[in-house]
């Protein structure tokens, strides 16, 4: 690979890291061509971009983007594939699905999700269960609305009783 090709690849990786904001670094070494092609097809179907790159080029792309990647640099060893997705959980769900079909790979080396760093394959279940920003905001709004709805509901259901009590108290006061 020439220097220009490497620079082009680093630029492409940098652009994808900025565009997607989420990426997984995985180990797909020692897989047959058929299994790699199956993974690529499943990635395409799930709207996930997969790219095989040298660790040094991935590191240069992360440095070009900037930000705090924590211990991800230490995970850049051996053969690496990088998965990009708009959804933070889609690659984790795909990896879990591939594992159910009998494949022990791809292994998760590291993941970068909205500025959070996850290191190691033992984080796969955590990554699968992550909630998106939209889901979290929806839950918070639901929690905030719940007490207000309860108060309004109680006032509405007891409205006639309250009016009766107020009227009785007024009559007694006269």
| Phi-psi region at 78: left, alpha or beta (left = phi > 0; alpha = psi -120 to 50) | left
> Cα–Cα distances in Å, from 54 out to 21, 77, 99?
20, 9, 24
Fold of 3-130: Alpha-Beta Plaits (3.30.70)
pLDDT in tens, 109-167: 999 988 889 999 888 888 888 877 777 788 888 777 777 676 666 666 665 666 666 67
* Residue 45 structure tokens: 């179907």
CB 81 within 8 A of CB 52: yes
pTM: 0.74
**Sole residue written with tokens 């092609």:** 37
SS3 25: strand
């Amino acid at each position: 690979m020439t220097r220009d090709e490497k620079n082009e690849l680093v630029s492409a990786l940098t652009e994808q890291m900025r565009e997607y904001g989420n990426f997984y670094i995985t180990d797909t070494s020692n897989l047959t061509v058929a299994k790699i092609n199956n993974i690529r097809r499943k990635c395409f179907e799930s709207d996930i971009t997969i790219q095989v790159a040298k660790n040094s080029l991935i590191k240069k792309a992360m440095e070009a983007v900037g930000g705090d990647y924590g211990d991800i640099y230490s995970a850049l060893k051996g053969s690496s594939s990088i998965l990009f997705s708009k959804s933070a959980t889609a690659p984790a769900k795909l990896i879990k699905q591939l594992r159910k079909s009998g494949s022990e790979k791809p292994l998760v080396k590291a993941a970068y999700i909205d500025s959070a760093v996850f290191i190691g394959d033992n984080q796969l279940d955590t990554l699968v269960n992550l909630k998106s920003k939209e889901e979290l905001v929806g839950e918070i709004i639901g929690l905030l609305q719940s007490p207000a709805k309860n108060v309004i509901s109680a006032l509405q259901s007891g409205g006639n009783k309250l009016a009766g009590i107020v009227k009785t108290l007024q009559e007694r006061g006269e």
